[in-house]
Amino acid sequence: MKITILTLFPEMFDGFLHTSIIHRALEKKQVEIEVVNFRDFTLDKHNKVDEYPYGGGQGMVLMCQPIVDAILAYRTENSMVILITPEGKTFQQKIAHELALKEHLIFICGHYEGFDARISRYVDMEISLGDFILTGGEVAVMAISDAVIRLLDGVIKESSHQDESFENQLLEYPQYTRPVDFNGDSVPEVLLSGHHENIRKWRLKQSLKRTLERRPDLLQNKVLSKEEMQLLESIKNEESFDTN
């Protein structure tokens, strides 16, 4: 996969590209990432990429010309152009899987007050990281790129993300490591038993319980197995479970 990032602040990606899993994926050529300053494409003699909005209002608006010319310079028939904007579809793990199948992603990082609306005619998808506002789209692009890259073949072990939160519309079960007892708080005995089937059932039940408590919306569209329905019913019947 190739990822092209169009931004006014390429230096923001220095740490992202040189640490942890992303750095290893780049070294192994599992992904190629190029960071492009779209200011280099402006035709303005003062290198401007923004202007005051027509109709008045606060802030500055990014102009069409530099961004569209940058898109056209890097876009191929296999490219998918993604605009980071609050009006876009909220990013979820399902979208990460869809993007991981693409050959070339082009991300456009916004800044200032926003984009000239005509830029949206040159993009294939608009994505929002959530219902909040960032100074620019760079942080969102890092988050989305990270979520996508880790799904590429060989970047991490397949088994490492099969049980992660959102992979099966459930939150992940709680994890524990040494010591067994920490300030009187002990690891659940089932995890020390060595009984793999009991551990599997405990983890599934805990995953269902966490999801019901913290993100019940995830269960609304999930097709539950017979085992999951039984466990969910037992969770609801437990006196310790608070449905409020």
Residue 186: which H helix or E strand, with range? strand 185-186
Maximum pairwise Cα distance, the chain: 71
DSSP β-ladder status, 61-62 and 181-182 = unpaired
Give the CA distances from residue 67 to residues 114, 120, 124, 229, in Å, rounded to whole numbers and listed in that order.
Answer: 12, 11, 14, 50
Low-confidence residues in the chain, pLDDT < 50: 243-244
- Tokens linked to 38: 């779209």
Indicate yes or no: pTM above 0.85: yes
Tell me the C-alpha distance between 49 and 38, whole Å.
8
Collapse the DSSP code of 53 into the 3-class scheme (helix H, G, I; strand E, B; otherwise coil) and give the result. coil
pLDDT of residue 239: 58
pLDDT of residue 96: 98
pLDDT of residue 241: 52
pLDDT of residue 220: 93
Collapse the DSSP code of 178 into the 3-class scheme (helix H, G, I; strand E, B; otherwise coil) and give the result. coil
Residue 211, C-beta contacts closer than 8 angstroms, at least 6 positions apart: 169, 170, 171, 218, 219
Q: Is 194 exposed, middle or buried (0-12, 13-18, 19+ CB in 10 A)?
A: exposed
pLDDT of residue 113: 80
Dihedral through CA 58, CA 62, CA 65, CA 71, nearest 10? -160
Residue 58: which H helix or E strand, with range? none
pLDDT of residue 163: 60
Collapse the DSSP code of 26 into the 3-class scheme (helix H, G, I; strand E, B; otherwise coil) and give the result. helix
pLDDT digits (tens, 9 = 90+) for 171-219: 999 999 999 999 999 999 999 999 999 999 999 999 999 999 999 999 9
User: Which residue type is seen at 227?
Assistant: E
Residue 11, C-beta contacts closer than 8 angstroms, at least 6 positions apart: none
Collapse the DSSP code of 2 into the 3-class scheme (helix H, G, I; strand E, B; otherwise coil) and give the result. strand
The phi, psi pair for 164, rounded to 5°, reads -70, 160
pLDDT digits (tens, 9 = 90+) for 146-162: 999 999 999 998 756 66
